[in-house]
Amino acid sequence: MSLQLFIFQLLNGIGIGMIYFLLSAGLTLIFGLMRFVNFAHGAFYLIAAYLTFSCTLLTGSFWLALFLVPFIVALFAVVIERSLLRHTYGLPHEAQILITFGLALLIQEVIIIAYGPLGQNVPTPKALAGVVFLGPYVYPAYRLFVVAVAASIALLLWFTIERTKLGSILRAGSESSEMVGLLGINVNLVFSLTFALGGALAGMAGVLAAPIRGVEPFMSAESLGIAFVVIVVGGLGTLSGALVGGILIGLIQSVMSTLWPEGSHLMIYAAMAVVILTRPAGLMGRS
């Protein structure tokens, strides 16, 4: 592998990894606060990708989708949480997995009925269709934009979690949701806000990923598998773990796609196995 190709793949891995971070951050927040296993999380990503496709097809504006779709997905996540998932919080994890997995399959089938079983392309916005020169290297402008947007969201999330009242409630709830309730805080409202935040993050990941990989009805299962690998590698219930895990998995996938294309996905799970054997709580997780 030439040095230029290696640098390109590293940058590409960071871009992919930042999308994985956005996808995984909501899932790890929901699990950290609520101890709820949400197998429908990938469906939020799927819905966002197809809404982006529809928006760009009907209006020709990717930017409208970028600002509008995450809010729509967040609203959808709240509706699902309040109407269905709230009634499953007291059930065993096995029941939660079955119910949310069934919900994900239902959403997937609705997408197939509405759009068909074949994939579709989402055009890159014209303003970001070129390349950026980074010294002697070139890199697609859109992928650099993805890194910048995801990094900005990561900083905003860190500030929200570490420096605001909502963040202190989320951190306290991850330790003991019962104690938060005893302090007079509306736990159900906190749960709904957490689902909305998780949906918005998955929605943003779906919007940003659509011009890179296109859209197809089965991307939900793929994204969910990647999200669980990321949070297991990084550490359950931690945003820093989602960031570190997302970038690490993105780098492994990108570099291995050049060195060993057939085994790039295999190496993701091999990395997860190594982390489980050496650090069962994840790289940034607490035992």
Task: Name the CATH code of domain 3-278 (choices 1.10.1660, 1.10.3470, 1.10.10, 2.30.30).
Answer: 1.10.3470
Structure tokens at 73: 């997905």
pLDDT tens for residues 92-143?
888 999 999 999 999 999 999 999 999 999 999 999 988 888 777 788 899 9
Question: What does the pLDDT read at residue 209?
Answer: 95
pLDDT tens for residues 56-97?
999 989 999 999 999 999 999 999 999 998 888 888 888 999
Q: HSE (CB half, 13 Å, CA atoms) of 208?
A: 28
Concatenating the DSSP letter of every residue in 204-270 gives HHHHHHHHHH-B-TTHHHHHHHHHHHHHHHH-TT-HHHHHHHHHHHHHHHHHHHHH-GGGHHHHHHH
Residue 183: pLDDT over 80: no
Residue 160: pLDDT over 80: yes
This prediction has a pTM of 0.91
* Nearest Cα residue to 16 out of 199, 273, 245: 245
